[in-house]
Structure 1
Amino acid sequence: MSTLTTLARNRLRPKAAPRDMGALARQQRGIHVPFVAPALLVYLALFVAPALVGVYVSFQRWRGTGDRMEPVGLANYRRLLSDDVFRTAFRNTLEIVVLCGIGIFVLAFAVTVLLRQMRGRKTLRSLLFFPHIVSPIAISVALGLLLAPDGLVNAALRATGLDALATNWLAPDQIFRTIMVGIVWVTTGFYVILLMAGVDRIPPYYYEESELAGANEFQKFWHVTLPLTWDVVSVAAVLWVINSIKIFEFIYAFSGTGDAPPVGSRTLTIQQFLVSTGGRNPSYELGYACAMGVVMVVLIVLLVALLRRVMRRDPIQF
């Protein structure tokens, strides 16, 4: 009887894990290395190494190939603090990040709410995305022609009796606001696509139950759409912060006339380009330009970290 009891207990007792499971796990992890290593090496060679070189050059005075580097310590960074043009470019960049970001996401949310109930929304989605796939240079040149003092926009305003609204949209004191409006128009469609991808996965019965509860469109958006697409909104916000700081072609083509764009319309990317290679009389100060690049990277890291901190939410399962 005791033998049977012992056998039963042994049969019911959980089996111990084989001793070689640890070795098997290590062997499985080792399989990943040959697949990951080539991509990692390419990434290190093409992205990480140039970035580190840029940090090194930011502490040098250098005019490019053929010129000898001269260590200057933090002189390039101290110069940034006293450079009025850099401060203007920095402020303009932050305005694009914040003000254009608010405009883009407000419009994207409004369009998403409208498209959710419309027929043919896939076609409309494609039309909204169209400006994003066209060359930014082509769009900025076309907008420049439309907004010229004798362009189609002012002609239409005068023809409809709204002469008071006709103005020089490309004047130095107004061009940056015009550029910001153009950025919002060009970019909104991309974020509508991202938000609609999150809205499409929400089960319809959530909206049906909210309608039975008497919720209006804003309440359905605030209590159903926004919470259930918060992860998509967070990713879209991070993408906007990164992409907005790097906007170059649209601004340069819109405000450039073969010479350097006016100071009032410059951003960090424009100013970095002009200092290094651009403009009619480029200074080729690559060390100073690299210092600007380091500031841009630090700005992106800080803004993304702050944004992720502010937008952190527990995921909602549905």
Structure 2
Amino acid sequence: MEYIGFSNYISIFQDSTFWLSFRNNILVVLASIFGQIPIGLALAILLNRKLKGAKFFRTIGFLPVVISTVVISITWRMIYNSEQGMLNNLLESVNLGFLAQNWLGNPDYAIYAILVTIIWQFVGLYFIIFLSALQTVPEELLEAAELDGANEWQKIFHITIPSIKNVILVAVILCISGSLKTFDLIYVMTSGGPAHSTEVMATYMYSATFEGLSYGYGSAISVLILIFSLILILITTKVLNAKKD
């Protein structure tokens, strides 16, 4: 064995594939925060009311969270199939066949196709979290606001959302930490391809460690994943706490 100091980290920062995987990870984080959180919150607000069949829709909304990631990956890979996939067939059926693509085989579209799957998979988790939080908002506040002439949008933005700000902060932190360790779904759907276009730091770490047998290099990538996660969580906490103050 030979001590090499920070050589692995220097190599990583000069590695274009690592920076591509880092960019893809940032896209996953942004898609999760601005996709999963707003959609989950909107669904929670909608289904927090006394609607017919609300319990059924709550169950359906949470279902993707409890389904195996491998099953989800294979299902969406079939949906995106360029020849027999449901998405391209749907586009053909509504005379939009010119939009049909090889969704997972085209480096320009593959990462965005996966982002849609990631958002769909975890919306239900945040939907349930927000639904539980909404049930703790005092009815007296909402009734008082209604008596003062507040409409539904005003009650949502001035009472409901401020009342569950701490829960939203926790959800954002969960979103960031979960996004930066995304691995299994991408590995099953594309294995980081084509041409590393869907590579994220976790899949790149795995391929460097177990396929390239560069254990030190893979360990260095793991350390950077931890550091980037902590930095993003600290920044998010500071920003949201500043807005709360």
Match of 1:222 among 157, 166, 169: 157
Pair 1:87-2:19 in alignment:
yes
Match of 1:297 among 226, 231, 241: 226
Equivalent residues of 2:25, 2:200 under 8 A apart = yes
1:158 is matched by which residue type in structure 2?
E
What residue is the counterpart of 1:168 in the other structure?
A: 102
Equivalent residues of 1:272, 1:293 under 8 A apart = yes
Give the C-alpha shift of residue 166 in structure 1. Answer: 2.1
* 4+ long deviations beyond 3 Å: 313-316
Give the C-alpha shift of residue 211 in structure 1. Answer: 2.3
Which whole-Å deviations, capped at 9, do the CAs of 1:201-223 have from their partners, x for residues lacking one? 11222222222233233221111
- Size of the aligned set, in residue pairs, is 241
Give the C-alpha shift of residue 157 in structure 1. Answer: 1.7
Match of 1:158 among 92, 104, 112: 92
Q: Considering only aligned residues, what root-mean-square deviation do their CA atoms show, in Å? A: 1.8
Output the CA distance in 2 between the equivalents of 1:83 and 1:231.
39
Equivalent residues of 1:76, 1:288 under 8 A apart = yes
Output the CA distance in 1 between the equivalents of 2:171 and 2:226.
19
Q: Could you tell which deviates more after superposition, 303-312 or 289-298?
A: 303-312
Normalised to the residue count of structure 2, the TM-score between the two structures is 0.92
Equivalent residues of 2:31, 2:119 under 8 A apart = no
Structure with higher Rg: it is 1
SS in 2 for 1:264: coil
Equivalent residues of 2:24, 2:199 under 8 A apart = yes
Structure 1 spans left out of the alignment, 5+ residues: 1-68
Normalised to the residue count of structure 1, the TM-score between the two structures is 0.72
Give the C-alpha shift of residue 142 in structure 1. Answer: 0.6
What residue is the counterpart of 2:204 in the other structure?
A: 271
Tell me: CA distance 1:180–1:224, structure 2 relative to 1, closer, same or farther (3 Å): same
Identity, in percent, stands at 29
1:301 is matched by which residue type in structure 2?
L
Give the C-alpha shift of residue 313 in structure 1. Answer: 6.7
Output the CA distance in 1 between the equivalents of 2:163 and 2:87.
41
What residue is the counterpart of 1:179 in the other structure?
A: 114
Give the C-alpha shift of residue 245 in structure 1. Answer: 0.5
Match of 1:145 among 55, 78, 87: 78
Which whole-Å deviations, capped at 9, do the CAs of 1:94-152 have from their partners, x for residues lacking one? 11112331111121121122112242433322211110111111111111111111212
Give the C-alpha shift of residue 153 in structure 1. Answer: 1.6
Output the CA distance in 2 between the equivalents of 1:216 and 1:254.
45
Equivalent residues of 1:136, 1:249 under 8 A apart = yes
What residue is the counterpart of 2:144 in the other structure?
A: 209
Equivalent residues of 1:252, 1:261 under 8 A apart = no
SS in 2 for 1:312: helix
Output the CA distance in 1 between the equivalents of 2:202 and 2:44.
31
Output the CA distance in 2 between the equivalents of 1:136 and 1:311.
31
SS in 2 for 1:214: coil
Structure 2 spans left out of the alignment, 5+ residues: none
Output the CA distance in 1 between the equivalents of 2:155 and 2:67.
34
Q: Could you tell which deviates more after superposition, 123-132 or 174-183?
A: 123-132
SS in 1 for 2:241: coil
Tell me: CA distance 1:314–1:265, structure 2 relative to 1, closer, same or farther (3 Å): closer
What residue is the counterpart of 1:57 in the other structure?
A: none
2:239 is matched by which residue type in structure 1?
V
